[in-house]
């Protein structure tokens, strides 16, 4: 079993192959539709960074360099002033971020994207170039995943709403599967192709 | 009638926070069939650990606690209206206690009712039975797997599916292929042949309440169930679509009379979190038992 710790090195990423189970520990930032749109519009595609968002940019650059983004809309309970706990933290469908993901990987030197269902060609290409990997969380394993979140360290852009905000979490031994590696392989593509062939044979 | 709201809350808690024994057993068996160190084996390990943890902590197995579907058999004279009230109240209480996630959304306003009650929500079906007992079966049907459920109209020339059991086999296999891992495979397939578009899906979902070991009384259908199970697993989609030996954990087929012009096959795809639970209220002794 591969163990990954953030920040993740290029060597560690290159050593991973599609199909490898991994345990991830360290810092992860959650982000789904609103967060990806925000990152791209304010930091990547804009001519100059809006003054109001400049501090956050520096913070995020630090967190995401060698880091990991998680497509997750958590269920969160507030346990004190600025103190939070993840009650459920399952993955959400990743393909919605396909338009943004490659840019975010390149701009911030992301090493990993966690989600479910896999992503498409542009992201796979970005994984090869950067390098980075796509890590599939196990759908439905909400209790176990929430248990792996040992601390909710911070939250940015809470105005996007709880599921869409960028939560900075510390995870310990989060169980994941590499389904898209940095060598151009995607399990999603191979399983789809193989099952298609098999179906054709069964239908004769 | 006595107020059975708290009993319904307990029924919901049991369904949401634990898997039926046969489902958990089949996940363990499936795990042992996978190659050591494979993605599939690791996925099964995660699922099994998650189930154990949820049971211990009495928290939902999956964050999506699904649509609650109640199938209720009552003796003559028991009030369906009263029972409906108890069930709806129980859903609200179970949501408050976080056994259920608020899942009932108004399709017009997009507003979540917050307590798992709403228009035609939860689903409740009543039947009249012979015993002096109220028998309740509950299924929590997740949304991800609901999205990959499918209905076919036979004949289907693209799949070479005629109006016979081989045609049924063909479309069911196609639905498993189309679903890939997206319905949180490995799944259980509830299949209905016949009926109209509406009744067919209801029948398909009812098949999901059958225990995995339940053998179809009709020999032809029993054979079909076994064959589809075997062939669906040959597709190699595996848990979550990671590839592997087990893609479906069970196939259950039911039939309904159909119109001469129609031949529907409905496949209710249920994820690995096939959360079903039962309760029986003995009206003579007032005793309540769960299974
Ligand atoms: S399909 Fe089932 S296991 Fe997957 S997220 Fe939905 S309810 Fe949970």
Vertex B41 angle, CA A182 and A111, to 5°: 25
Nearest residue to A132 via CA among A153, A156, A115: A115
User: Is A140 in contact with B271 (Cβ distance < 8 A)?
Assistant: yes
CATH code at position A35: 3.20.130.10
* Ligand 1 centroid to residue A115 C-alpha, Å: 14
Nearest residue to B48 via CA among A118, A138, A74, A1: A138
Write down the domain spans for chain B. Answer: 5-15+61-142+275-290, 144-270
Does residue B95 contact residue B116 with C-beta atoms inside 8 Å?
A: yes
**CB nearest A198 (choices: B54, B234, B239):** B234
User: Rounded distance, CA B159 to CA B279, Å?
Assistant: 42
Reported ipTM: the value is 0.93
Other Cβ atoms closer than 10 A to A103: 17
Going by their DSSP bridges, the two strands B123-128 and B133-141 should be labelled as unpaired
Mutate to test the pocket of ligand 1, among B19, B65, B103, B145 (most ligand atoms within 8 A of CB): B145
Q: Could you give the number of structural domains in chain A?
A: 1
- Residue A113, preceding peptide bond in cis (omega within 30° of 0): no
* DSSP letter assigned to residue A65: T
Segment B79-89 shows an average pLDDT of 98
Nearest residue to B193 via CA among B151, B233, B228: B151
A3 touches chain B (CB under 8 A): no
A187 touches chain B (CB under 8 A): yes
Q: What are phi and psi of A18, to 5 degrees?
A: -55, 130
pLDDT of the residue at B63: 83
Q: Is residue B230 within a helix (H) or strand (E), and if so which, with residue range? A: helix B219-234
Ligand 1 binding pocket includes B66 (Cβ within 6 Å)? yes
DSSP notation for B154-165? S-BTTTTB-SSH
Nearest residue to B261 via CA among B198, B194, B187, B199: B194
Ligand 1 binding pocket includes B273 (Cβ within 6 Å)? yes
DSSP notation for B272-284? S--EEEEEEEETT
Q: Using the predicted structure, report yes or no on whether residue B211 has a pLDDT greater than 90.
A: yes
pLDDT of the residue at A140: 84
Task: Name the CA radius of gyration of chain B, rounded.
Answer: 19
* Ligand 1 centroid to residue B241 C-alpha, Å: 14
- Residue B29, preceding peptide bond in cis (omega within 30° of 0): no
Other Cβ atoms closer than 10 A to B284: 8
pLDDT of the residue at A78: 85
Nearest residue to A92 via CA among A131, A145, A40: A145
- How far is CA A166 from each of CA A16, A75, B240, rounded to the nearest angstrom? 27, 13, 26
User: Rounded distance, CA B99 to CA A145, Å?
Assistant: 17
Give the ligand 1 atom nearest the CA of B66: 7
pLDDT of the residue at A76: 83
Q: Print the domain residue range for A191.
A: 2-203
Q: What is the pLDDT along chain A (204 residues), one digit of tens a residue?
A: 899 999 999 999 999 999 999 999 999 999 999 999 999 999 999 999 999 999 999 999 999 999 999 999 887 888 888 899 987 788 888 999 999 999 999 999 999 999 999 999 999 999 999 999 999 999 888 889 988 999 999 999 999 988 899 999 999 999 999 999 999 999 999 999 999 999 999 999
pLDDT of the residue at B28: 98
CATH number belonging to domain B5-15+61-142+275-290: 3.30.360
User: Rounded distance, CA A38 to CA A31, Å?
Assistant: 10
- Going A97 to A98 to A102 to A105, the CA torsion angle's sign is positive
Nearest residue of chain B to residue A198 (CA atoms): B235
Does residue A138 contact residue B43 with C-beta atoms inside 8 Å?
A: yes
In the sheet with B248-255, reading across from the earlier edge strand, the strands are B150-153, B264-270, B187-193, B248-255
Q: Give the B window 245-284 contacts with A, CB below 8 Å.
A: 271-273
pLDDT in tens, B29-39: 999 999 999 99
User: Rounded distance, CA A123 to CA A109, Å?
Assistant: 13
Mean of per-residue pLDDT scores for chain B: 96
* DSSP letter assigned to residue A42: I
- CA-based max dimension of chain B: 58
* Ligand 1 centroid to residue B272 C-alpha, Å: 8
Going by their DSSP bridges, the two strands A112-115 and A133-137 should be labelled as parallel
Q: For residue B148, what pLDDT band results from cuts at 50, 70 and 90? A: very high
* DSSP letter assigned to residue B132: S
A19 touches chain B (CB under 8 A): yes
Q: Is residue A54 within a helix (H) or strand (E), and if so which, with residue range? A: helix A54-64
The three-class DSSP label of residue B99 is: coil
Q: Could you tell me the pTM of the whole model?
A: 0.91
Nearest residue to B222 via CA among B197, B191, B198: B191
| Residues of A belonging to the active site | 36
Nearest residue of chain A to residue B48 (CA atoms): A141
User: Rounded distance, CA B16 to CA B69, Å?
Assistant: 12
Segment B192-204 shows an average pLDDT of 98
């Amino acid at each position: 079993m591969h163990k990954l710790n953030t920040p993740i090195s290029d060597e560690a990423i290159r050593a991973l192959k599609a199909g490898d189970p991994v345990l991830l520990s360290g810092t992860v930032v959650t982000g789904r539709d609103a967060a990806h749109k925000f990152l791209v519009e304010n930091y990547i595609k804009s001519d100059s960074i809006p003054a109001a968002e400049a501090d956050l940019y520096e913070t995020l650059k630090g967190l995401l360099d060698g880091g990991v983004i998680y497509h997750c809309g958590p269920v969160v309970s507030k346990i004190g002033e600025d103190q939070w706990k993840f009650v459920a933290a399952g993955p959400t469908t990743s393909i919605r971020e396909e338009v943004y993901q490659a840019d975010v990987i390149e701009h911030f030197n992301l090493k990993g994207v966690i989600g479910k269902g896999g992503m498409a060609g542009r992201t796979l290409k970005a994984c090869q170039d950067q390098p980075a990997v796509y890590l599939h969380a196990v759908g439905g394993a909400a209790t176990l995943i929430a248990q792996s979140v040992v601390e909710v360290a911070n939250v940015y852009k809470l105005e996007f709403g709880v599921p869409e905000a960028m939560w900075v979490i510390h995870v310990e031994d989060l169980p994941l599967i590499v389904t898209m590696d940095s060598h151009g392989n995607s399990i999603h593509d191979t399983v789809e192709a193989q099952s298609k062939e098999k179906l054709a044979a069964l239908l004769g | 009638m006595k107020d059975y709201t708290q009993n319904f809350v307990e029924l919901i808690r049991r369904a949401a926070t634990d898997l039926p024994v046969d489902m958990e057993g089949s996940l363990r068996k499936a795990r042992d069939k996978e190659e050591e160190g494979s993605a599939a084996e690791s996925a099964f390990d995660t699922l099994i650990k998650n189930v154990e943890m949820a049971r211990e902590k009495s928290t939902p197995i999956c964050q999506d606690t699904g649509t609650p579907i109640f199938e209720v058999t009552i003796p003559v004279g028991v009030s369906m209206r009263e029972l409906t009230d108890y069930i709806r109240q129980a859903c609200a209480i179970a949501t408050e206690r976080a056994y259920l996630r608020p899942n009932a959304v108004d399709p017009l306003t997009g507003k979540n009712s917050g307590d798992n009650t709403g228009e035609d929500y939860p689903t409740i079906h009543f039947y009249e039975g012979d015993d002096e007992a109220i028998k309740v079966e509950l299924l929590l049907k997740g949304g991800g797997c609901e999205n990959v459920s499918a209905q076919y109209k036979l004949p289907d020339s693209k799949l070479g599916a005629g109006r016979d059991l081989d045609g049924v086999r063909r479309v069911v296999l196609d639905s498993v292929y189309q679903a890939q891992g997206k319905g949180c495979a490995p799944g259980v397939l509830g299949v209905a042949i016949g009926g109209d578009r509406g009744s067919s899906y209801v029948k398909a979902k009812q098949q999901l309440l059958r225990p995995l070991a339940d053998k179809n009384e009709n020999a032809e259908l029993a054979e079909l169930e076994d064959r589809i199970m075997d062939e669906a697993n040959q597709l190699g989609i595996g848990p979550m679509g990671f590839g592997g030996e087990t893609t479906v954990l069970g196939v259950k087929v039911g039939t309904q009379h159909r119109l001469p012009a129609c031949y529907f096959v409905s496949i209710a795809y249920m994820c690995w979190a096939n959360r079903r639970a039962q309760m029986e209220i003995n009206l003579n002794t007032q005793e309540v038992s769960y299974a």
